[in-house]
Amino acid sequence: MEIGGTNVMITGGCGGIGLEMGRLFAEAGKDVVLVDAKIESGAALARDNARVRCVQCDLSSASDIEWVLKDEPADILINNVGISPKFDDAGNRVRTWTMTLDQWNAVMATNVTSFFLCTRLCLPHMMERKFGRIVNIASYAARTGGYQAAVHYTTSKAAILGFTKSLAREVAPYGVRVNAINPGRIESPMTRDVPKEVSEAIIPQIPAGRLGVPRDIANVALFLCSDFADYMTGTAVEVNGGLYVGP
């Protein structure tokens, strides 16, 4: 399996899944930039691997993205950043009828608009080189309505599936391939905002008999950026242990 290009940008790169993807791409000989608002957790990987560096950026801010990342060309872009707020400041479960516009917009800015902005920044370089790989991390929640996620998160991930398909058609003639991954229930910082028993309660519904781990997602991202996936574009790969097996 061979992976083209030299530079990899991973947004949300200092979270559980982002760090694992960064580790695997660095092991594959790529220069990796981990982009995140908080970079402390990525600093250890960067210290241990000269191919990895961290860039601090508020990915909910259009101005931050355009200023901080404007000189960061990438042959491979992994749009991975995401937030999934489930409770308000008082600890109440967020519901559609209690959700504020600010709460809605905050999720859309991070989970959707950042994907568009980072992609727009990277595409000219990819199109000029006639090579590029973009992987958008969505969620099985876009297929099922989710398990614990609120409506703004689920809606944002459904939007990413549409973004993936439309973008893939636009840029295929330029040698750029665009695919998505729909993770199932993954043991990561994002899923630790609910009690452990909540996540464990879903395990009996998973044919594989376990929660996913970041390596499960990172392995598929590596595959989608390799020559093994040259004829794949505009698709979403379901990585959920059989939790969702629909069309």
Give the tens place of pLDDT for each residue, 77-88. Answer: 999 999 999 999
Query: Rounded distance, CA 183 to CA 175, Å?
Result: 26
Q: Percent of the chain at pLDDT above 90?
A: 89
- Active-site pick, 140, 147, 153, 174: 153
Does 140 qualify as catalytic in the annotation? no
Other beta carbons within 10 angstroms of residue 86's beta carbon come to 13
Which CATH code for domain 7-239?
3.40.50.720
Burial class (CB in 10 A: 0-12, 13-18, 19+), 210: exposed
Write down the pLDDT at residue 193.
65
Task: Give domain limits for the chain.
Answer: 7-239
Please state the pTM of the whole predicted model: 0.95
Q: Which of 217, 222, 9, 246 has the alpha carbon at shortest distance from 143?
A: 246
